[in-house]
Amino acid sequence: MFQALNRNKFSAAIDLKDDAQREALRRFLVEKADVVLQNMRPGLIGKLGLDAALRKDNPRLIYCNMAAFGAQGPLVDRPGYDPLMQAFGGIMSVTGEDGGPPVRVGPSLVDVGTGMWAVIGILSALRRRDLTGEGCEIDTVFVRDGPVLGEHARGVVSRLRQGGRAGAATEHAGMVPYKVFGAKDGGVMIAGRQRQPVPPPRRRARPF
């Protein structure tokens, strides 16, 4: 796993509690780096003197923070990572089978999604720097990829009104069939597509 995730990367082991090593890292980031990306525990990076204040010494630096709940708000000091964000945001409430417990999605969707938004922000910042000569600070939030959105939101509201769990991953909130069915030789996924939207029910206009 380590080789798969870190192939062709250059690594350096630094004791951040050692003043000399921390200062060497600070100088390297200011003098050599185009982009700094950090996702340390909230508040720690500032105590180390390695936060976005580095841009005072290098205005061209692009500094990206990856945090569970962002840079402001009532939960700003709380740490978090993929499984916690899947639970907090509701992904686990719509994953699994009816009658079963909430289930974490196998792939780390929140980690990967947050990384994707960070890359998009960094690429946009690099393009902006090409035009203006200035870097910037970027905040990417893990919880942004955790909430249940889109068509699942309708299903969540409907299921909760009926007193059940928020939903099941094998079903779609607005299309039927849209789930795995048991067959003699195993499961088969059947996903029906709605050809035309169902028109809303007609209602008589109320007289004034």
Question: How would you classify the pairing of strands 62-67 and 178-183?
Answer: unpaired
DSSP H or E run through 141 = strand 136-141
Q: How far apart, in whole angstroms, are the C-alpha atoms of residue 157 and residue 173?
A: 10
Q: Which of 172, 173, 179, 180 is catalytic?
A: 172
b/e sequence 165-200, b meaning 16+ C-beta within 10 Å: bbbbbebbbeeeebbbeeeeeeeeeeeeeeeeeeee
DSSP H or E run through 38 = strand 35-38
Q: How far apart, in whole angstroms, are the C-alpha atoms of residue 155 and residue 76?
A: 30
Q: Identity (one letter) of the amino acid at 176? A: V
Residue 172 appears among annotated catalytic residues: yes
Q: How far apart, in whole angstroms, are the C-alpha atoms of residue 93 and residue 55?
A: 41
Residues with catalytic roles: 172
